[in-house]
Amino acid sequence: MEVFQNHPLAPYTTIKIGGPADTLIITHTTEEFIDALKNNQNITILGNGSNVLISDSGIRGTVIKNSSQSIEIIDTSPIPINFNHTYTQRMENEPDKYLDFSKIDYDESSKPQVLVKISSGTPLPFAINSLLDQGITGLQWFAYIPGTVGGATFYNIHGGTYHFSDYLESIEAFNLENGQIETFYKKDLEWEYEKSFFQKHPNLIITFVTLRLFKGDSVLARQVYNAWISQKVKVQPMNSSGSIFANPSKELCEKLWGEQKSSGWIIDHELGWKGKQVGGAQISLQHSNFIVNNGTATAKDVSDLITEIKNEVQNKFKFTLHTEIKFLGNFS
């Protein structure tokens, strides 16, 4: 493992913002990851840093960047169980301008199943591609999501109409409180849009996940993967921390606008704030629910812009937008 003192964290995030960690440890295998978890205190975990905003003053204590990468096919003909497609709440008001998934969605739930065990630091794009190369499908819907498998589980990410939890079988986690590895079964935990059991239990650090995937049509799956990337690349800027705000509830939107609206639509159409800047942080011209770093942005620029958006929505419509990204370090 690599160990650095007083080391800048910005390079380890997609938005390229963040002050130093007192100690940064980069682990390359699960053994190293568990070792680092056992032998340090005051720990913050970083996957690929694609859903975080790290403070300009950095993070006190030890940051462990999890770069363990392994994929193991553990059972090629498990007893099949019904695929539970939960349908995500993600939506776009202008699919022709943003993302239209309806034309590339299909059902593969009748295909033979396969169980695959993946270490939590494995980058999602690597996992998808390497599984497709082996004829294993299911994860193609999560194209162009720059996180690790651990981050995908922690956030229960969504792609197209699917949640990551639709494919989870079980999760192994290191319990910081007792130093033990514990196994959790997907069916015993609650999963919601962008929410998982692990967000409520920060003492549990995900080390491995076992996914129930398909021996499906990998040529079709790769077509979907590529088609989805070519749509997303136009509207989801990589120099960001992903979507800033969750969409407000359907009930609230129906009261205000007669139909469900996305946070991006509200910022764009109701505030007219597409392109608005605070310092080097800007509401993306590609998609108003993304804030990009124009090269000089600080975490304070981004958090001030987020606060301005929240205040404006609160003043105009009397509700609070819920921030999806995780703030790490001190923002007071």
Ligand X SMILES: Cc1cc2nc3c(=O)[nH]c(=O)nc-3n(C[C@H](O)[C@H](O)[C@H](O)COP(=O)(O)OP(=O)(O)OC[C@H]3O[C@@H](n4cnc5c(N)ncnc54)[C@H](O)[C@@H]3O)c2cc1C
> Per CB under 6 A, does 68 bind ligand X?
no
- 167 counts as binding ligand X under rule CB under 6 A: no
Tell me how far apart the alpha carbons of residues 141 and 231 are, in angstroms, rounded to a whole number. 12
Phi, psi of 255 (to 5 degrees): -65, -40
Rounded to the nearest angstrom, the gap between the alpha carbon of residue 125 and the centroid of all alpha carbons in its chain is: 12
Residue choice 25, 98, 101, 158 for contact with ligand X (CB under 6 A): 158
Measured from the CB atom, the residue of 209 and 313 that comes closer to ligand X is 209
Q: Does 116 participate in binding ligand X (rule CB under 6 A)?
A: no
- 52, 136, 213, 253: which one contacts ligand X (CB under 6 A)? 52
**Smallest distance, Å, CB 46 to ligand X?**
5
198 near ligand X, judged by CB under 6 A: yes
Strands, DSSP E only, in 120-192? 158-159, 162-163, 168-175, 181-185
Is residue 171 within the footprint of ligand X (CB under 6 A)? no
The whole-angstrom separation of Cα 36 and Cα 21 is 15
Q: Is the dihedral of CA 150, 304, 56, 12 positive or negative?
A: positive
CA 66 and chain centroid, separation:
15
Q: Contact between 154 and ligand X (CB under 6 A)?
A: yes
CB closer to ligand X, 114 vs 157: 157
Footprint (CB under 6 A) of ligand X, residues 298-327: 326
**Residue 14 binds ligand X, judged by CB under 6 A:** yes
- Taking CB under 6 A as the rule, does residue 45 contact ligand X? yes
Q: Which is nearer to ligand X, 18 or 113 (CB)?
A: 18
Counting beta carbons within 10 angstroms of the beta carbon of residue 151, is it exposed (0 to 12), middle (13 to 18) or buried (19 or more)?
Answer: buried
289 lines the binding site for ligand X (CB under 6 A) = no
Assess 117 for contact with ligand X (CB under 6 A).
Answer: no
Give min distance, CB of 315 to ligand X, in A: 28
Contact 65, 148 (CB under 8 A): no
Tokens 């159409």 belong to 269
The answer to whether 287 contacts ligand X (rule: CB under 6 A) is no
Q: With CB under 6 A as the rule, give the number of residues binding ligand X.
A: 32
**20 makes contact with ligand X (CB under 6 A):** no
Question: Cβ 146 to ligand X, closest distance in Å?
Answer: 5
* Region binding ligand X by CB under 6 A among candidate stretches 48-56, 105-113, 181-189, 262-270: 48-56
228 binds ligand X (CB under 6 A): no
Instruction: Work out whether 218 is an interface residue with ligand X (CB under 6 A).
Output: no
Tokens of 177: 């409180």
Burial (0-12, 13-18, 19+ Cβ within 10 Å), 81? exposed
Element (H, E) at 235: helix 218-235
How deeply is 296 buried, as exposed, middle or buried, from its count of CB atoms within 10 A (0-12, 13-18, 19+)?
Answer: exposed
Give CA–CA dist 216/213, Å, rounded: 9
What count of other Cβ atoms lies within 10 Å of the Cβ of residue 56?
18
CA–CA gap between residue 199 and residue 157 (Å, rounded): 13
> Tokens 């136009």 belong to which residue?
234
Distance of alpha carbon 317 from the chain centroid: 28
**Residues 262 to 281 in contact with ligand X, rule: CB under 6 A:** none
Establish if 152 lies at the interface with ligand X (CB under 6 A): yes
If one asks whether residue 138 binds ligand X (CB under 6 A), the answer comes out as no
Applying CB under 6 A, among 48, 170, 247, 263 the residue interacting with ligand X is 48
210 is an interface residue for ligand X by CB under 6 A: no
242 or 329, CB closer to ligand X?
A: 242
- Interface residues with ligand X (CB under 6 A) are 14, 45-52, 66, 120, 145-148, 150-152, 154-155, 157-159, 198, 205-206, 236, 238, 240-242, 326
